[in-house]
Amino acid sequence: MTTKNLLIELFVEELPPKALKTLGQAFAGGVMGSLEEQGLIEQRTPSQFKFFASPRRLGVWIEDVLETATDEPEEIRLMPVAVGLNPAGEPTPALAKKLAALGGDIKDVVPMPSGLHLKRMKKGVDLTAGLQKALNEAIAKLPIPKVMSYQLHTGCELPGWTSVSFVRPAHGLVALHGADVVPVSALGLNAGNTTHGHRFEAAIDPVPLAHADAYAETLARDGAVIASFAARKADIARQLAAKAAEVGGGCKPIDDEALLDEVTALVERPNVLLCQFEPEFLAVPQECLILTMKANQKYFPLLDAAGKLTNRFLVVSNISPADASAVTGGNERVVRPRLADAKFFFDQDRKKTLASRVEGLSKVVYHNKLGTQGQRVERVRGIARAIATALNQQGWGDADLAAQADLAAQLAKTDLLTDMVGEFPELQGTMGGYYARHDGLGDTVANAIEDHYKPRFAGDELPRNAAGVVVALADKLETLVGMFGIGNLPTGDKDPFALRRHALGVVRMLVEKDLPLDVSAVLAAAVPAFGALITDATPQLTEFVYDRISGGLREQGYSAQEVDAVLALRPQRLADIGRRLSAVRAFVALAEAPALAAANKRVGNILKKAEGEVLAQVNTALLQEPAEQALAAALAAVAPAADAAFANGDYTASLQALAALRAPVDAFFDGVMVNADDPALKANRLGLLKTLHDAMNRVADLGRLAS
């Protein structure tokens, strides 16, 4: 079969930069997938296609595309024999109608036990029809953030009246199979072999494309456009590093993958230029300056070797003039008012203390069922004091912890009322820390205020000090308990109050800080702060937290059985979970593990079916059978060592001590009838099994490990 490489390009007006990469990948994947499904690609490999995405184009290059797909056998069940053939064996009108709809022939109809089947060779689709279908499907499935409609003025029945819907108006379509144009159409455009390059720097316009394989090279040479998103991104990263090296002193551009992607989507041929601003602006917290340069101007601030902001920044320009002074000067003029605004906000904010802003929080609505931010702050303070007191009772934290946490909790939300956070909400917490230091509150309280939102996302660092941990816990618990208490729960992928993230943050702090707190007690401790505002949903919230733990552990590589075995016991000290999982994994590796897990599951089922409460008590005088006597003796021998190891937190040794029980447990089930006719014997044997069950399931529910 004849194969050639295929190129498709849609030339459009400027695409939304934050969506460009996703749109490019989706367009390429959609075309590729449809062609493969239709048999026009014989075997798909990762290197078989490349996607192109620049500010004004989406494209894909695909290797070894067939001109016509191979004919394939096809079998279609039509209908029951009695419906399709009359008593004389002739086709009924129902069969004739069905065949006409399918384009089938009566000679290809085969009676089978399951009914009449149409067996024929299905003709392979040709590239023109297949590519048209692929284009239509790929365009229809694009994850367009916001569709716009526009009118066609050429190539349509009603110029100026025919509407098309797409992410942006499209002005060109290229479809090349080798050097040949494939006559397809899309969005009111007919395919050709010409495209357009850079608005100002293209050598020629339009740019003719001689062959599918020459696309990227031709566009770069004649159109001054780097069509590949990946190649353009790599070129920007290279230029940023080179320009930073020219500055010297260990300077480097800020590392921000999202910003790099967005800038890559804004330029067609990047040219990195060095700019600067007045050094006096460096008196403003660098987070403010960095954010305004990144968010508003898409600049790359330069940091020195110590990670401190310099008064230099890098601009990725879309033009490359011989004299770039006008470009650099223009960008320096543009950034100056932004930095001046930040300095003004910072200076104005420091004229009022954080404490003086507390009263203003009572005028800010938090939630219509939970009151104002001021009321919320009081709840967070109450929860923080309760947590700090509980930690102090366990010997964790110093004597000032409760007072420090209370003050930090009182002031933590006040920066929401500052001009700086009003302009840059991303700086909440950060600015509170700066203003707290300015107010003379010291690093302990300032760091706690700054860190109380942490961890903000997966992998984020935890609060630096004990007061920060307490306030961060209290803040997240107030949100969780409050939202669960009013029934405002996450559904599907919707979680507007980030309750899943808050739950994971609570888990991380309890685990990684090894806090001596029971998770159920921590959740319950937050309920009194709400008074009659909410319904106590602690049981439901507890299950929600354990679900988050379960998902996180499976992502870390633990098996579902291992996780279920440990979490089935609902361990209250979350820091213990990792040690329990390690012990379970070591236990599973023992030769005795499968038999003991199966026996444990059997014991659990027997105890569930027993009438009334079964107590873990054994009367040795009622042990008649040798097997039950041996099991009781083995338990008496093993239990002290297992219990001691468990008490010392050596869960691995505790579980491994149980290996000695395999033989007596197997013998017990082989030779002892648990449900004896004598009620006393039956109760004693159930008591023995209950004792065994309790001994085996202190670290994890071993029955969950049974296959």
pLDDT digits (tens, 9 = 90+) for 438-474: 999 999 999 999 999 999 998 899 999 999 999 999 9
pLDDT at 43 exceeding the cut of 80:
no
> What is the 8-class DSSP label of residue 178?
T
pLDDT score, position 164 = 86
Residue 509: pLDDT above 70?
yes
**Spacing of C-alpha 114 from chain mean position:** 47
| Predicted confidence (pLDDT) per residue in 273-327, tens digit | 999 999 999 999 999 999 999 999 999 999 999 999 999 999 999 999 999 999 9
What phi, psi does 11 have (nearest 5°)? -100, 125
Pick from 66-75, 136-145, 241-250, 349-358: least confident? 66-75
Do 500 and 438 contact (CB within 8 A), yes or no?
A: no
- What amino acid is encoded at 258 in this protein? A
Is 211 a residue whose pLDDT tops 90?
yes
Question: Mean pLDDT throughout 6-32?
Answer: 95
**What DSSP assignment string belongs to 641-692?**
HHHHHHHTT-HHHHHHGGGGGHHHHHHHHHH--SS-SSHHHHHHHHHHHHHH
Q: Contact 228/50 with Cβ under 8 angstroms?
A: yes
Mean pLDDT for 536-564 is 94
Cis ω on the peptide bond leading into residue 455 (within 30° of 0)?
yes
Residue 639 in tokens? 């239990």
User: Which DSSP symbol is given to 75?
Assistant: E
pLDDT of residue 707: 73
What pLDDT, on a 0 to 100 scale, did the predictor assign at position 504?
96
pLDDT at residue 155 above 90?
Answer: no
Residue 45 clears pLDDT 70, i.e. is over it? no
**Per-residue confidence (pLDDT) for residue 571, from 0 to 100:** 95
Residue 160 has pLDDT above 80, yes or no: no
Return d(Cα 120, Cα 45) in angstroms, integer: 30
Mean pLDDT, residues 544-569 taken together? 94
Q: Which residue has the tokens 């008591």?
A: 687
What pLDDT does 258 receive?
94
CB 334 within 8 A of CB 315: no
pLDDT digits over 74-131, tens only? 888 988 988 888 988 889 999 889 999 888 888 888 899 888 898 887 888 899 999 9
- Rounded mean pLDDT, 240-255: 95
- Look at residue 480 and tell me whether its pLDDT is greater than 80: yes
Write down all domains in the chain, each with its CATH number in brackets: 3-69+126-223 (no CATH), 73-122 (no CATH), 231-349 (no CATH), 369-557 (1.10.3210), 591-705 (1.10.730.10)
pLDDT digits 0-9 by tens, 619-641: 999 998 999 999 999 999 999 99
Q: Regarding predicted confidence, which is higher, 157 or 316? A: 316
pLDDT at residue 44 is higher than 70: no
% of the chain beyond a pLDDT of 70 = 99
pLDDT of residue 602: 92
Amino acid letter at 225? V
CA distances from 263 to 9, 14, 174, 643 (A): 21, 13, 26, 61
Is residue 604 predicted with pLDDT exceeding 80?
Answer: yes
Distance CA 449, CA 459 (A): 20
Write down the pTM of the prediction.
Answer: 0.82
The mean pLDDT of the chain is 93
**Six-digit token string for 210:** 């001689």
- Check residue 158 and give its pLDDT: 73
Mean pLDDT within 415-425: 96
Whether the ω angle into residue 206 lies within 30 degrees of 0, i.e. cis, is yes
Instruction: Return the residue matching tokens 């994947």.
Output: 29
Whether 600 shows a pLDDT value over 70: the answer reads yes
Mean pLDDT of 344-354: 97
Task: Give residue 384's pLDDT.
Answer: 97
53 DSSP assignment:
E
